[in-house]
Structure 1
């Protein structure tokens, strides 16, 4: 169980570094008199979005094979990357 916790932490931590969410959080922190409300709000948002992802993944794997979900997620990431590079996302 500890291995799953560590690997999940590592993957999410690395994925979140330097993304739009982190940059927006930094911007909000510069506009706030105290960093704590920004930290708490950002932490709760990440917690809720992670919970939704876990629940959705648990629900979807009951009806769709994991290999299809992994392939679909890969395709979506590629499409989002292409759209981002083209300036349409």
Structure 2
């Protein structure tokens, strides 16, 4: 349960103001069809985070607990610093228009998540908690919590969020996870 809750919370906070949230706003403004956009976000996130969590599990199988603990601890602290750097969105989504709303959303989101903060966090969380299902469910839920309102409420609501504060809170959580991982052996 801890893996699910921590994964959900971290990703939901990390996603505020992230490029994929900006992509959700862009797609909502362009297509004005929320159902296929939300479905595309879900499918893309589930696939992307499943593969990221598998990578985290594989890394866990290769490394001893002490080495893994140090790598994860430093990675979480690095994620805390990365959270404080604002994201920008390149408007490449038009390339996918020929796939329809669902297809364009799925492809754009899957590719936008490659190497993104939340994908890297999913790898680290999966290695830390060693429970693929709970981590994937949590990170996917976190993405949906952050992106579905962006699709439905649009740009006006996104502009009212204190993005710097939210990113600061997410950075603090990542830093705390990093310190806790360094101080306490993995379970």
- Give a deviation string over 1:45-75, Cα, whole Å, max 9, x none: 1111111111000001111331353235755
**CA deviation string 1:15-42 (max 9, x = no partner):** 1111001101110111113111111111
Give the whole-Å Cα distance in 1 for the aligned partners of 2:55 and 2:77: 17
Matched residue, 1:47? 46
Instruction: State the partner residue of 2:174.
Output: none
Q: Which has the higher contact order (CA 8 A, sep 6+)?
A: 2
- 1:62 matches 2:61: yes
TM (norm. structure 2) is 0.37
RMSD, aligned CA: 2.5
Equivalent residue, structure 1, for 2:26: 27
How many aligned positions are there?
82
TM-score of the superposed pair, with normalisation by structure 1? 0.72
Q: Distance in 2 between matches of 1:76 and 1:16?
A: 13
Structure 1: stretches of 5+ with no match in the other structure: 85-89
